[in-house]
């Protein structure tokens, strides 16, 4: 990202990759260094020590944070409560986002487990209160509304 967050310390066989800001990365926190690390030593905090790549299912999807349509691969692992998203990265480095995936696309998958997230469709009743419904009932209400029926 042209911010020179990472550098090389030492010379020759004793050289190592290290942050240029001494003990931390001084950058936009975009996560691109995770993608470019050739040995997988740089990992995100949400993924580190939770699982291994071969223990995950890799699910191809589209980023949900904006209308750009960036391609994303989610790393999903099985847990006691079902499944859990532990990692997101750019899918195949083609199409709109190329090699880049924004910070929201890379680190913003935790909303899936939020207790505030809607998991069922809601419809307003005659008193204006929201009530749970099914997708089929919601689709029928939408068709009636577009046709002008009450």
pLDDT tens-place string over residues 138-149: 777 777 777 765
Number of helices (H), then strands (E), in the chain: 3, 7
* Other CB atoms within 10 Å distance of the CB of residue 108: 14
CA distance 15 to 24: 18
CA distances from 72 to 64, 88, 93, 96, 101 (A): 10, 6, 9, 11, 8
pLDDT digits (tens, 9 = 90+) for 89-141: 876 666 566 667 788 888 888 888 888 888 888 888 889 899 888 888 877 77
Q: What is the pLDDT of residue 150?
A: 55
- Report pTM: 0.61
Alpha carbon 6 to chain centroid, angstroms? 23
CA distance 9 to 20: 9
* Other CB atoms within 10 Å distance of the CB of residue 6: 17
CA distance 124 to 16: 60
């Amino acid at each position: 990202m042209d911010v020179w967050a990472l550098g090389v310390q030492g010379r020759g066989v004793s050289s190592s990759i290290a942050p240029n800001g001494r003990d931390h990365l001084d950058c936009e926190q975009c996560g691109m260094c995770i993608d470019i690390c050739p040995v997988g030593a740089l990992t995100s905090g949400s993924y580190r020590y939770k699982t291994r790549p071969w223990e995950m299912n890799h699910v191809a999807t589209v980023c949900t944070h904006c209308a750009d349509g960036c391609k994303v691969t989610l790393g999903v692992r099985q847990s006691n409560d079902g499944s859990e998203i532990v990692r997101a990265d750019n899918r195949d480095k083609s199409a709109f986002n190329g090699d880049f995936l924004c910070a929201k696309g890379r680190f913003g998958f935790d909303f899936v487990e939020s207790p505030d997230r809607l998991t069922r469709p809601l419809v307003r009743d005659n008193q204006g209160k929201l009530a749970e419904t099914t997708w089929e009932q919601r689709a029928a209400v939408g068709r009636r509304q577009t046709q002008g029926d009450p």
